[in-house]
Amino acid sequence: MTEETEKVSKGKKADVGDTISILSGSEKGKKGRVIVVRDNSVIVELGINPKKDEPIKTVISHKRYKVVK
């Protein structure tokens, strides 16, 4: 039973380069590209700041996003 639970939780995590949709928080509804995967979260690039030409990044918990196919 433990092995089945681990397989399900691994399937929900995004990989580097995947596009995700944020489900809750201040960035709810936005989509971004995963640039780093951590144990409990991912770092996502949401876009480019036009004033500074720097990427807009945020950290999202694995519980708070859905992978877009």
User: pLDDT tens digits for 19-46?
Assistant: 999 999 999 999 999 999 999 999 999 9
User: pLDDT tens digits for 8-24?
Assistant: 334 478 999 999 999 99
Q: Take residue 8 and report the two structure tokens written for it.
A: 């399900």
Residue 68 CB partners (closer than 8 Å, separation 6+): 18, 19, 20, 21, 31
Q: Where are the domains of the chain?
A: 18-67
What pLDDT is recorded for position 8? 32
CATH C-level class of 18-67: mainly beta
pLDDT at 6 over 90: no
pTM: 0.77
What pLDDT is recorded for position 69? 78
Burial of 53 (0-12, 13-18, 19+ CB in 10 A): exposed
